[in-house]
Amino acid sequence: MEYNHSENATIFRALCDETRLMALSLLQSGEKCACELLEQVNVSQPTLSHHMKILVESGIVTSRKEGKWMYYSISQTGSEKAIALLKFLTTLEVDQSELKKECCAWVRNVVPKITTAVQKS
């Protein structure tokens, strides 16, 4: 997986707000008009537009305009990317047992040497 900090932060930014999470929850039942979302989410229209823009920019939500209304839906591709990114970022690259051995070996070998050096000074 290609890792781009700025682009990937956009995905997490979209998911770290109560209003956006509520909007996503409402979209789980399918495409919704902004007016339908506005009835359920207790924010002003400009505030909802701002939150939906962030969700759309993240790729998790798609939008389309029909007349004067905006319609939003969850993007299958965007949600799969968010899932893959979270999995990538939370998967350990090394075996935990090896990490513990190295850590304990470091403590056993290096700390006494540092302590001895400090005591001599």
Structure token pair of residue 4: 């781009």
Supply the mean pLDDT for the chain.
85
- For the chain, domain boundaries: 5-90, 94-121
How many helices (DSSP H) and strands (DSSP E) are in the chain?
6, 3
Confidence of residue 39 (pLDDT cuts 50, 70, 90): very high
- The CA-based angle 74-77-82, given to 5 degrees, is 85
What pLDDT does 77 receive?
Answer: 96
pTM, 2 dp: 0.75
Count CB neighbours of 32 within 10 A: 19
Q: What is the pLDDT of residue 106?
A: 55
Q: CATH code for 5-90?
A: 1.10.10.10
With beta carbons less than 8 A apart as the criterion, state whether 121 and 113 touch: no
What residues have CB less than 8 Å from 54, skipping those under 6 apart? 13, 14, 17, 20
- Binned at pLDDT 50, 70 and 90, residue 121 comes out as very low
